[in-house]
Amino acid sequence: MEYPRVDFLYLNEEDMIAAGVKDMKGCVETMEEMFKLMKVGNYRMGGSNGNSHGCMVMFPEKSSFPEMPVDGPDRRFMAMPAYLGGRFDMAGMKWYGSNADNKEKGLPRSILMLTLNDKDTGAPLAYMSANILSAYRTGAVPGVGFKYFAKEDAETIGIVGPGVMSKTALAAAMAVRPSLKTVKVKGRGKASLDKFISYVHEEFPGLEVYAVDTIEEAVRDSDIVSVSTSSPTGDPSLYPYIAEEWIKPGAIIESTAALRFDDDFLINRARTVTDNIMLYEAWEEEMKPDAYNTIPIPAVRVEDLIAEGRMTSEQIDDLGDVLLGNVPVHRKENEIVIYSVGGMPTEDVAWGTVIYRNALEKGIGTKLNLWKTPDMMV
């Protein structure tokens, strides 16, 4: 870039696809590289602790201002900034608005965009459609866990919640465990189940897939379990529940959303692994006490138990430590791994940087000008 002129690349959804945003194998590898950089500290996220998930604008239940939105399912705006070092060496921010009522307009629940910025000047380098990017990086993070913790000959995966996140989690599972033969899926409605089953038939011909009526059926005899549901927060007794006796020895259960286990199981027999332990510590700090009431991911419940003195910090492992060899991949034979995935803007920056550079190399996207010279220097 020849300053003071500032140009940036705009990538719409078609451009993102052409630049490789759906390359799940590459996305899993990118996430693995990102986790290693994060473990050695070569990153920053928001907040004074450098590990905040982001800054969220939420709306009140009632407002005296007629134009102001009021609270509703998934109704919020959120900014998720981050810097990631290494070969990425990029700053950026994912911004999104979310409203469950969007589906009535033919829109996805959340509409996401990612901005990449020069780390020194702050000038924009790219502005890109991020719905597919976010979905794939969200699926790829479970994929890293499946790669390390799932049995090499895993054959069966249980899916709870047949939405977009489960589709990409399945794609990641297939990328790292092509031995999978059977998919069991639990959903709430026939339409979403039919859509998921059609997706599996189309994307993975020959893979057996069928619907089950209960979470127990999805979990029993599954080598991998992936849970991604939309559940109200606030009352943990209403979160989706998995009993210990349903779980196959040696299974990995991954959760990107609300999920509940018995405390005795978490304390005494399960192995808890997080995608970034400091994210969960930040949540515990920001939302104490009882952070699990707000962030319903299993590792947040473990953090609550640590805060209550019922568990110790040594009972929770960080994926980055596994990747760098600081802790063993398996601590005991046939252990059950509960792998919590919180989602971080470093993931968007990592995969977004790869796709941006792919687009530059392939001549994809639209070059836009911010200014030739700035009209006002501030």
Could you give the percent of the chain with pLDDT greater than 70? Answer: 100
CB 137, CB 348: distance < 8 Å: yes
Q: Give Cα 68 distance to the centre of its chain.
A: 30
Residues 6 or more apart in contact with residue 277 via CB below 8 angstroms: 316, 317, 318
Token match 């038939």: residue? Answer: 201
Mean pLDDT of 43-55: 89
Decide the pairing of beta strands 366-371 and 6-11: antiparallel
Token match 């993975």: residue? Answer: 204
**pLDDT of amino acid 48:** 85
Amino acid at residue number 371:
W
Amino acid at residue number 377:
M
Q: How many CA atoms lie within 13 A of 49 on its CB side?
A: 14
* List of domains in the chain: 6-133+346-371 (3.30.1780.10), 140-344 (3.40.50.720)
Question: From the CB of residue 333, how many other CB atoms can be counted at a distance below 10 Å?
Answer: 7
CB 82, CB 52: distance < 8 Å: no
Q: How distant, in Å, are the alpha carbons of 138, 224, 259, 291 from that of 296? A: 17, 20, 7, 8
pLDDT tens digits, one per residue of 266-295 = 999 999 999 999 889 988 988 888 999 999
Which of 40, 121, 55 lies closest to 374, judged by CA? 121
CA distance 207 to 218: 16
Instruction: Answer yes or no: is pLDDT of 139 > 90.
Output: yes
Which of 272, 345, 336 lies closest to 303, judged by CA? 272
Which structure tokens are listed for 167? 């589709």
Instruction: Answer yes or no: is pLDDT of 20 > 80.
Output: yes
Which of 274, 275, 224 lies closest to 251, judged by CA? 224
The total number of residues shown for the chain amounts to 378
**pLDDT of amino acid 173:** 97
**pLDDT of amino acid 49:** 84
> Which contiguous run of DSSP H or E holds residue 9?
strand 6-11
Residues 6 or more apart in contact with residue 281 via CB below 8 angstroms: 51, 303
For residue 8, what are the β-bridge partners?
Answer: 368
CA distance 208 to 174: 13
Instruction: Answer yes or no: is pLDDT of 373 > 80.
Output: yes
Which structure tokens are listed for 66? 């007629």
